Chains A and B, each alone.
Chain A
Amino acid sequence: MGYSAFSLLKNALTGHRHWRPAWRDAAPQAQYDVVIVGGGGHGLATAYYLARVYGVRRVAVVEKGWIGSGYAGRNTTIIRSNYLLPGNIPFYELSMQLWEGLEQELNYNAMVSQRGVLNLYHSDAQRDAYARRGNAMRLHGVDAELLDRAAVKRMLPYLDFDNARFPIQGGLLQRRGGTARHDAVVWGYARAADRLGVDIIQNCEVTGIRSEQGRVVGIETTRGFIGAAKVGLAVAGNSSRLAAMAGLRLPIESHVLQAFVSEGVKPLIDTVVTFGAGHFYISQSDKGGLVFGGDIDGYNSYAQRGNLPVIEDVCEGGMALMPMIGRLRLLRHWGGIMDMSMDGSPIIDRAPVDGLYLNAGWCYGGFKATPGSGLSFAHLLATDTPHETATAFRLDRFGRGAVIDEKGQGAHPNLH
């Protein structure tokens, strides 16, 4: 059943008792052409584009919990394509363009809101860096505007412009950036993939990857063996653990990133704004809560919870940027596990084991990449060649010295 104003009205008149489940609860079959491990946004988007664009018939997504229960449900929902390096910009812009047509494509309200993303600068050197970034974006056909102090003040008058340590001098604005509803993205892709025949198998944890004569032939799971001609891993946060099942080590460390929501308030922040002198970013959800975050905790973790020093650091960043939030109470905070790659950029590539494919290393930029990652990974799985926008995301780039290092500070798992 397609969703429309008519279907909404019809179901409203019958007390909303006749809505059908949006996707089947599939049981695993013996053999698939492609099995995607990981029922988050990336895995479900990959399955959708495999079926929709590349016509692959027998596709399954296996998920250890319920779909969207991992890091697709733990991010801060920001979408943007304000990157600097040639290896990144076309890919993230493809993703941005897919966001812009996503709801029509999926017939699902993902609440994509292009409310703008504003990165503030606080020094002459930072202004120059942002001017360069903005120019790089515009050369690639991406929108970018460098705002001066007066223009930022018209937009967000409540910021602490004359902060003694970090006065705000201006910002780099991408108007097409914004937010999307993270759960709805998962559900929308799941529903659309299911309608194309993709099996979504929940509560099915992968316990091993079976190989025969050096080639992957399927996965061992808590619901038995599932044969597959190709296996794609889209399990950010746990990529190293899954890759280790195939004897691989990755240039990735798993780190915890915390995020926060305040109590709900009336409409206050109508864009996404980031503090340039520390690490703090904030937007307001449609329910009214202020959604914000900052740095990773800085040590390896699979614990899905962080520690107090970073909570304090994030809140200090917020107070330096907009002191008015000081009286708000924190409603919730949580931790998610990030695949921190050694150059801050992702990996979409064939693994050095035949039949195994990697979609990993998203650091904490994975959510915005969901549509582009799905399309690019589907392209790789279907054709064994990288998508034209994802040719730089190779696993062997580290050994070749071809890293994609947006921060320009070398190998360390604290980049993004």
Chain B
Amino acid sequence: MLIPCPHCGARLSEEFVCHGDATRQRPAYDASDEAWTDYVYLRDNPAGAHREHWYHAAGCHAWLVVTRDTRTHQIIGVEVAR
């Protein structure tokens, strides 16, 4: 699997560390237990397009948001996380 890093170009996936689902939003610190449980544990886990964080550990150290099809591993889009 090649991941096109916006800074480094297409690089092998082994240069990156995957940190999973990028759609989750950390709740406010005083949010309900349900909101925190949802954030920490629950996942959409889609079969299809999945937005996920990848960290370019052996490259430019950028955090990326990669959109990838979980059925085929095809990379649909890459942007720098912010």
Contacts and interface: CB of A to CB of B under 8 A. Distances in A.
Interface of A: 238, 240-241, 244, 249-254, 298-303, 307, 309, 342, 398-399, 411, 413
Contacts of B41: 251, 342, 398-399, 411
Interface in B1-42: 1, 12-14, 17-18, 20-21, 33-34, 37-38, 40-42
Contacts of B20: 253, 299-300, 413
B69 to A, nearest CB: 9
Contact of B43 (A240, A302, A303, A399): A240
A96 to B, nearest CB: 29
Interface residues of B, number: 27
A250 B45 contact: yes
A344 to B, nearest CB: 13
- Chain A facing B: main interface SS: mixed
Contacts of B38: 249
21 contacts: A240-B43, A249-B43, A250-B45, A251-B43, A252-B45, A253-B21, A253-B45, A254-B47, A298-B17, A299-B20, A300-B21, A300-B45, A300-B50, A303-B72, A307-B1, A342-B41, A399-B33, A399-B37, A411-B40, A411-B41, A413-B20
Contact of A301 (B21, B42, B43, B70): B70
B43 A299 contact: no
Contacts of A302: 47, 70-71
A251 B42 contact: yes
A249 B38 CA distance: 9
A254 B45 contact: yes
B71 to A, nearest CB: 5
Of listed A298, A299, A301, A398, residue having the most chain B CB within 10 A: A299
Contact of B45 (A240, A307, A398, A399): A240
Contact of A241 (B33, B47, B72, B73): B47
B3 to A, nearest CB: 10
Given A253-B20, A309-B14, A301 B73 contact: yes
A238 B48 CA distance: 13
B77 to A, nearest CB: 16
Contacts of A399: 33-34, 37, 41
Given A309-B13, A309-B14, A399-B33, A303 B71 contact: yes
Of listed B17, B34, B43, B71, residue having the most chain A CB within 10 A: B43
A250 B37 CA distance: 11
Given A254-B45, A300-B21, A342-B40, 17 more contacts: A238-B47, A240-B45, A241-B47, A251-B41, A252-B43, A253-B20, A299-B20, A299-B68, A301-B70, A303-B70, A303-B73, A307-B13, A398-B40, A399-B33, A399-B37, A411-B41, A413-B43
A252 B21 CA distance: 12
A194 B21 CA distance: 42
Nearest to B42: A249
B45 to A, nearest CB: 4
A136 B56 CA distance: 41
A252 B42 CA distance: 7
Contacts of B73: 301, 303, 307
Nearest to A254: B45
B44 A249 contact: yes
Of listed A252, A302, A411, residue having the most chain B CB within 10 A: A302
A411 B20 CA distance: 12
Nearest to A251: B41
A30 B12 CA distance: 52
A299 B44 contact: no
Interface string B44-56: 1111001010000
Given A254-B45, A307-B13, A299 B18 contact: yes
A97 to B, nearest CB: 32
Contact of A309 (B12, B46, B47, B52): B12
Nearest to B1: A307
Contacts of A307: 1, 13, 73
A298 B16 CA distance: 11
A413 B40 CA distance: 11
B33 to A, nearest CB: 6
